[in-house]
Structure 1
């Protein structure tokens, strides 16, 4: 299927494919999950839009939300806002200069760093090289081999006790293959560290008299956790399952 509205050539398509932060058919929801979970303020990516051939979306993280902007391939040019770019290189150079975008709330959004298409968890399974900025003429050898924020997540969850089956709110942090939980966000020492290399499954759980629950299955115990919303529970499950899949790849 062609992504272009004009009679573009294979050269044009190949040029777009060289863009390290072009994520093809990544959905709007998935883009938001990626940028909110792994990105930082100013992280951005380009993806196909569902509005038709030649239509793209630039998804940008702005603090705790993700904004989406239309980009169109038309008559051999990339149209972005009121600007047109004759070539993809001009388009890339525009982002390299960190332009300011105005959202619907009037907030200025700075494009700081592209979110790469190919990402692996750093320092556990294999070393990674990830874009931290795009500048004219940059090559793979210029990429920075450090991505400490990839695959991390934190937040409050309600956990069921092991013996007394009461529920208590705990602060959880997920980094690399460790899921830690603390009495609250201000505590420095965790109550417990769960090694995900021993976890066999992560899934929604409907056996508890609570909503938005999921469980982590370990050989000696199943941990039952509840999030405030179904969306939040889904984000935790997807991130934890991704971790398990990466661990299996490394075995």
Structure 2
């Protein structure tokens, strides 16, 4: 079902066609890779959102991370937060000297330079010898790429011990459905690996008389950890809760 009339739909579609930084169906993962690899602080692009027709995502690089904002097209306007714009040109003009504020992390972001979807590249290519005399020992199965999982995170947290209830700093890494913690960042072998498929809940915790504390509930034990800031604790909780929701969807 359309959110707008046919006439306004045509006008807005025409504008999107001329928008040099509209990347159509670029995925969230690809947008982050583009902006982090080739963009600079303040680089931004527009892409389609998975939420359906008339829904877009504005992806903005903020230093070493990428933030995503929802933009909705309704009738003859674009809705962004509490603001309404008749065109994306009005949108950019409005935020040219007025920074965006990310509510979750409180990060100030300025829209400085659009990231174009059409990038010129030199038409110079390496010649390829398809058949070589060197045998690599690999098979076609080795050529299948294993993409890193979305939603990875790492950082130091202060964790409560299992038997002696003391608190020690540990290095945590989150990849796919495994949450590992190490003695420190330089250690290669984890102290323990937690399988999030066995976790029933992740939430803020106020029972330990510590600030920025959250817990992970497993059948045999509840793990308590504290972050340096409330923002950091909130980021860990949100990404862990997102992981649990993905696990439940797959069941």
TM > 0.5 fold call: yes
Partner Cα separation in structure 2 for residue 14 and residue 249 of structure 1? 37
Unpaired runs of 5+ residues, structure 1, are 24-33, 49-55, 83-91, 100-143
Does structure 1 retain, via aligned residues, the 8 Å contact 2:45–2:58? Answer: yes
How many residues matched? 178
SS in 2 for 1:246: helix
**Cross-structure match for 1:12:** 13
Structure 2 counterparts to residues 2-41 of structure 1, below 5 A? 7-9=8-10, 12=13, 19-21=24-26, 40-41=36-37
Does structure 2 retain, via aligned residues, the 8 Å contact 1:205–1:214? Answer: yes
Partner Cα separation in structure 1 for residue 232 and residue 115 of structure 2? 36
SS in 1 for 2:116: helix
Structure 2 counterparts to residues 75-86 of structure 1, below 5 A? none
Provide closer, same or farther for how the CA distance between residues 225 and 76 of structure 1 changes in structure 2, counting only shifts above 3 A: closer
Structure 2 counterparts to residues 220-239 of structure 1, below 5 A? 220-239=220-239
CA offset at residue 67 of structure 1? Answer: 7.9
Structure 2 counterparts to residues 28-177 of structure 1, below 5 A? 40-42=36-38, 45-46=45-46, 58-61=58-61, 63-66=63-66, 94-97=116-119, 147-177=147-177
Does structure 2 retain, via aligned residues, the 8 Å contact 1:159–1:168? Answer: yes
Partner Cα separation in structure 2 for residue 209 and residue 76 of structure 1? 50
Q: Output the aligned Cα RMSD.
A: 4.7
Does structure 2 retain, via aligned residues, the 8 Å contact 1:8–1:76? Answer: no
CA offset at residue 171 of structure 1? Answer: 0.2
CA offset at residue 60 of structure 1? Answer: 2.9
Does structure 2 retain, via aligned residues, the 8 Å contact 1:21–1:45? Answer: no
SS in 2 for 1:96: coil
CA offset at residue 246 of structure 1? Answer: 1.0
SS in 2 for 1:187: coil
Q: Deviations over 1:203-238 (max 9, x none)?
A: 010111110110000000000010111111111111
Matched, 1:210 2:210: yes
Partner Cα separation in structure 2 for residue 246 and residue 203 of structure 1? 16
Larger Rg computed on CA atoms: 2
Provide closer, same or farther for how the CA distance between residues 227 and 10 of structure 1 changes in structure 2, counting only shifts above 3 A: same
